[in-house]
A and B are shown apart, each in its own frame.
Chain A
Amino acid sequence: MAVLGIPILEDKYPVTMDMWPLQAKEFNRIYKFYEHLREGRFTTTRCRTCGHVAYPPRVICPECYSEDLEWIDLPKRGKVLNFTEEVRGVPLGFESPLIHAWIDLGEGSPIKRILSRIINCPVGKLQEGSEVQLVVFEVPSHPIEVKKDTKWVERVFFAFEPVEK
């Protein structure tokens, strides 16, 4: 497929224009996060040395700089503390309505609150206090050069959706 104005980019994959993370282990030491998403798990890293839980996941502990980390599960359900609904002017790559929520993952969670996107939800449905749950979806795959061949890497990402449909 041609790129307007730049014929030399025909059939090329420009990573500098890719809005999704590189998830293949060739490019990413936290690729397991995405493998876990495929299993329906929402995970992050905990330090085996000092116990600190970091999100987003790391390859070193930001508290003690230990590399001895393990994967733990985060809650897949949370409660909406506040939210916004963007109907007009939604940027390329997203559909209207683009809904964002500040989500409380509960007292038991090592990560108390996160900011995320809400999908599968019409405008006006979400309320403060609404229960939301993790949802995992496919996003476009991309090529990697492996010697003279091209390997395609499948990808997923996550958002949250209302528990009550």
Chain B
Amino acid sequence: MAAKRNACIIAGGMCKWGVREASLVDMAQEAAKECLEDIPALKPKDIDGFLFATSYAGRCSFQVNTAPVIAERLGLKPTSICARVDVLCAGGSTAILMAKGLVESGMADIVMVAGGEKLYTPQKWEVFYSELASIDHDWDAPNGLGLPPPFFALIAKEHMKHYGTTKEQLAWVSVVNYNYGAENPKAQFQKKLTLEEALGAPPVVPPLTLYDCCPITDGAAAVIIACEEKAKDLTDRPLVYIRGGAQASLHSVSANWPGEHLADWAHLRVAAKRAYEMAKVGPEEVDVAETHDCFSISEVVEVEELGFCKKGEGGSFVESGQTKIGGKIPINTDGGLLSCGHPFGATGIRQGIEIMRQLQGRARFQVEGAEIGLTHNLSGLNVEHTIVIYGREPVK
């Protein structure tokens, strides 16, 4: 039997995120350039597979069948796979999991996984209106559930009701993540945030205020996923292996919520259990994580369901500094969605870049000796969760 092939993440790059005077195709080129500059030995012609994660290209750029168009702009000539991945906010990490499968199966050797969104259109109403396409069109869109703040405000109220979580604890999520992002030149906001500013911000949907919510963002990001043999030829940096991952989708938004209440995310627990089993690690072994802080409350629930603290204690976990450098598990050390912004298909790729850098020892806020890293995305109105677990060693 041939030796098992292992997939490694070996390079990554992104364009400046924010309100960009650039098209989706422009930003994909900027991200791919920075990605290849991160690994000078790799040439575009050596890349045999291309996955592109985007969801709004069809609505905001009038462009479907995105992957071949962008591959051509990047000078890629994929011969194993060339496809678009659309799982909205989780598209990037989902594409990374797919690349793992392609590389480990032997179907591809070196895959560029890129993603991006162009969301700022000439008139502002359109992206907000197009959000109606991100949920079940016939059942949830007519209820005005397209923009996510009302639903996540409901989750926050549920968490407060069942576990006594406070508005101040939510604000701490934003303060910690903004202060990481303040040093990240690619982030949409390079701004330090104080607790007073966070608590004094204007309301969005009560109890959520401005800094509890990630912004609308243009941006793109790209990484290279390669088989271990090729990776060793291409780079002298420590190898970072994709140890495992999982994705779970269990319900519709209108009905059939899988938990006891809306702050009980059973579908995230299902995905986490499977990802930890595949990666052969437990939550206590994770040294650094990127969780999907689309809203402050999301990170509070996620640290619980991912097993970093007990259920119901996510608020006090963040408030007590456990997600800062030196805490139990530093989280969103590049600023997270709250500070970097959230161009949907690119977010999981940005998270992968940060975890790769952490495990290679070259992160901006370095977690000393990090061996295991985790990324988590959710998509839509919390209808799906995607987890990727990275490590300095392959699964034995």
**Residues in chain A within 8 A of chain B (CB atoms):** 16-17, 19-22, 55-56, 81-94, 98, 100, 102, 111, 113-117, 139, 157, 159
- Judge whether A86 and B149 touch: CB under 8 Å: yes
- Of B132, B142, B206, the residue contacting A139 (CB under 8 A) is B142
- Judge whether B257 and A100 touch: CB under 8 Å: no
Give the residues from 295 to 339 in chain B that come closer than 8 angstroms, CB to CB, to chain A.
none
Kindly list 18 other residue pairs between chains A and B, CB separation below 8 angstroms, not including A86-B149, A86-B204, A100-B144: A19-B129, A21-B138, A21-B142, A56-B254, A86-B205, A89-B149, A90-B144, A91-B129, A91-B144, A98-B150, A100-B143, A100-B145, A102-B154, A113-B257, A114-B254, A115-B145, A117-B145, A159-B143
- Judge whether B136 and A56 touch: CB under 8 Å: yes
- Of B132, B149, B150, B206, the residue contacting A19 (CB under 8 A) is B132
Are A115 and B253 CB-contacts (below 8 A) given A82-B158, A82-B262, A84-B154? Answer: yes
Chain B contact-residue range equals 35 or more
**Which residues of chain A come closer than 8 Å to B262, judged between CB atoms?**
82, 102
**Shortest Cβ distance from B136 into A: residue:** A56
Q: Give the one of A81, A113, A114, A115 with max B CB within 10 A.
A: A115
**Which residues of chain B come closer than 8 Å to A20, judged between CB atoms?**
142
- Judge whether B137 and A115 touch: CB under 8 Å: no
Report the minimal beta-carbon distance from A4 to chain B, rounded to whole angstroms.
8
**Which residues of chain B come closer than 8 Å to A88, judged between CB atoms?**
202-204
**Which residues of chain A come closer than 8 Å to B161, judged between CB atoms?**
82
Interface flags for B252-267 (1: CB within 8 Å of A; 0: not) read 1111110001100000
**Which residues of chain B come closer than 8 Å to A157, judged between CB atoms?**
142
Say yes or no: is B163 at the interface (Cβ < 8 Å to chain A): no
- Of A81, A86, A93, the residue contacting B132 (CB under 8 A) is A93
**Residues in chain B within 8 A of chain A (CB atoms):** 59, 125, 128-129, 131-132, 136-147, 149-151, 153-154, 157-158, 161, 202-206, 252-257, 261-262
A114 to B140, CA, bound (A): 11
Are A111 and B132 CB-contacts (below 8 A) given A56-B138, A82-B154, A139-B142? Answer: no
**Shortest Cβ distance from B146 into A: residue:** A91
Report the minimal beta-carbon distance from A52 to chain B, rounded to whole angstroms.
12
A116 to B147, CA, bound (A): 14
**Which residues of chain A come closer than 8 Å to B131, judged between CB atoms?**
91
Report the minimal beta-carbon distance from B169 to chain A, rounded to whole angstroms.
18
A3 to B151, CA, bound (A): 32
A21 to B157, CA, bound (A): 30
Are A91 and B128 CB-contacts (below 8 A) given A84-B154, A86-B205? Answer: yes
**Which residues of chain A come closer than 8 Å to B255, judged between CB atoms?**
55-56, 111, 113-115
- Judge whether B141 and A56 touch: CB under 8 Å: no
A56 to B252, CA, bound (A): 8
A94 to B205, CA, bound (A): 15
- Judge whether B125 and A92 touch: CB under 8 Å: yes
Q: 8 closest Cβ contacts across the A-B interface?
A: A21-B138, A117-B143, A84-B153, A94-B144, A86-B205, A114-B255, A55-B255, A100-B150
- Judge whether A19 and B142 touch: CB under 8 Å: yes
Task: Pick 13 A–B contacts, CB within 8 A, sort by A.
Answer: A19-B132, A55-B254, A82-B154, A84-B150, A85-B205, A87-B203, A94-B144, A100-B144, A100-B151, A113-B257, A115-B257, A116-B254, A139-B142
Are A93 and B136 CB-contacts (below 8 A) given A55-B254, A117-B143? Answer: no
**Which residues of chain A come closer than 8 Å to B128, judged between CB atoms?**
91-92
- Judge whether A85 and B256 touch: CB under 8 Å: no
**Which residues of chain B come closer than 8 Å to A84, judged between CB atoms?**
150-151, 153-154, 157, 205-206
**Which residues of chain B come closer than 8 Å to A98, judged between CB atoms?**
144, 150
Are A91 and B143 CB-contacts (below 8 A) given A56-B136, A100-B154? Answer: no
A100 to B139, CA, bound (A): 14
**Which residues of chain B come closer than 8 Å to A16, judged between CB atoms?**
59
- Judge whether A89 and B256 touch: CB under 8 Å: no
A93 to B142, CA, bound (A): 9
A90 to B158, CA, bound (A): 22
A1 to B324, CA, bound (A): 56
Report the minimal beta-carbon distance from B7 to chain A, rounded to whole angstroms.
34
**Shortest Cβ distance from B203 into A: residue:** A88
Report the minimal beta-carbon distance from A71 to chain B, rounded to whole angstroms.
16
**Which residues of chain B come closer than 8 Å to A114, judged between CB atoms?**
254-255
- Judge whether B158 and A116 touch: CB under 8 Å: no
A165 to B125, CA, bound (A): 33
**Shortest Cβ distance from B124 into A: residue:** A92
**Which residues of chain B come closer than 8 Å to A111, judged between CB atoms?**
255-256
A44 to B282, CA, bound (A): 42
- Judge whether B141 and A19 touch: CB under 8 Å: yes
A55 to B202, CA, bound (A): 37
**Shortest Cβ distance from A88 into B: residue:** B203
Report the minimal beta-carbon distance from A15 to chain B, rounded to whole angstroms.
11
